[in-house]
Amino acid sequence: MRPIIGITSYVVPATWGVWHEVSTALIPNDYVAAVELAGGRAVILPPDERDADVLRVLDGLLLAGGPDIEPGRYGAEPAPLTESRPERDAGEFLLVRKALELDLPVLGVCRGMQVLAVATGGTLHQHLPDVLGHEQHRPAPGVYGEHEARFEGGSLIAKLMGDDLGIHCYHHQGVADPGTLRVTGRTEDGLAEAVEAPDRRFVLGVQWHPEVTRDQRLFGALVEAAG
């Protein structure tokens, strides 16, 4: 039986066929395809803040990208360009904290890495151009930023990535304080690009988007850990 990987999802207005602007639970199929190619069975998880019972039937958790985290969760006031979805935060933070408690394998992508950091006591930069002085992590609408990352020797991400240092990302926020996690990868401007929990079976967060290229190193590692 394939390991079952739950993928957190958006709830946004969507249009298909004769239906227009219908409130819809969805996720880009890149995530589903990446999990399936790695040998897993993808299950989409709509936001649900009532409990984390679904983890009983999951073998791994994939925290997908998406909107900004509500700044009150890390003790900050919203900045002008912060756009959050409190209902998604409520469901995901419940899931990730329970998953960490259960030592369930977790992979966080972009927003998912930020959720991991905040859930373990960390904080975020709300708008990177104000901190870094450039917009290379989100150069234009729908355009990925291209970077080379440096990975900490001996870390999980270094072992998975090998000599391939190229990443592509799309985000305007970033991890300022990783909480109890360890930063194991940074871009040339010093921004955290990978975090890990070495005391857990498999907890990895990456700020870039490996699902777009169906990166089997990362998704394969998640599915293997969940197997």
pTM for the model: 0.95
Q: Could you give the residue numbers annotated as active site?
A: 110, 209, 211
What is the Rg, in whole angstroms, of the alpha carbon atoms belonging to the chain? 16
pLDDT at residue 129, as a whole number: 85
pLDDT at residue 45, as a whole number: 97
Residue carrying the six token digits 């005391």:
199
DSSP 8-state code for residue 67: S
Residues of the chain above pLDDT 90, percent = 85
pLDDT at residue 132, as a whole number: 80
pLDDT at residue 104, as a whole number: 98
Query: Cα(218)–Cα(215) distance, rounded to whole angstroms?
Result: 6
Q: Token pair of 86, please?
A: 């409190």
Q: Closest by alpha carbon to 174, among 130, 139, 215?
A: 130
pLDDT at residue 128, as a whole number: 84
As its CATH architecture, domain 4-226 has 3-Layer(aba) Sandwich (3.40)
pLDDT at residue 44, as a whole number: 97
pLDDT at residue 82, as a whole number: 93
Where do the domains of the chain lie? 4-226
Residue carrying the six token digits 């394969």:
220
Q: 153: phi > 0 → left, psi -120 to 50 → alpha, else beta; which?
A: beta
Query: Cα(105)–Cα(87) distance, rounded to whole angstroms?
Result: 23
* Residue 7, Cβ density class (10 Å: 0-12 exposed, 13-18 middle, ≥19 buried): buried
Tell me how far CA of residue 76 lies from CA of 24, 29, 92, 114, in angstroms. 30, 33, 19, 15
Tell me how far CA of residue 224 lies from CA of 4, 14, 35, 60, 161, in angstroms. 11, 34, 11, 10, 16
23 close to 60: Cβ distance less than 8 angstroms: no
The secondary structure element, H or E, covering residue 206 is strand 203-206
Q: Token pair of 170, please?
A: 């799309």
Query: Cα(58)–Cα(176) distance, rounded to whole angstroms?
Result: 30
Interval 184-227: pLDDT, tens: 999 988 999 999 999 999 999 999 999 999 999 999 999 999 99
Residues lower than pLDDT 50 in the chain: none
pLDDT at residue 40, as a whole number: 98
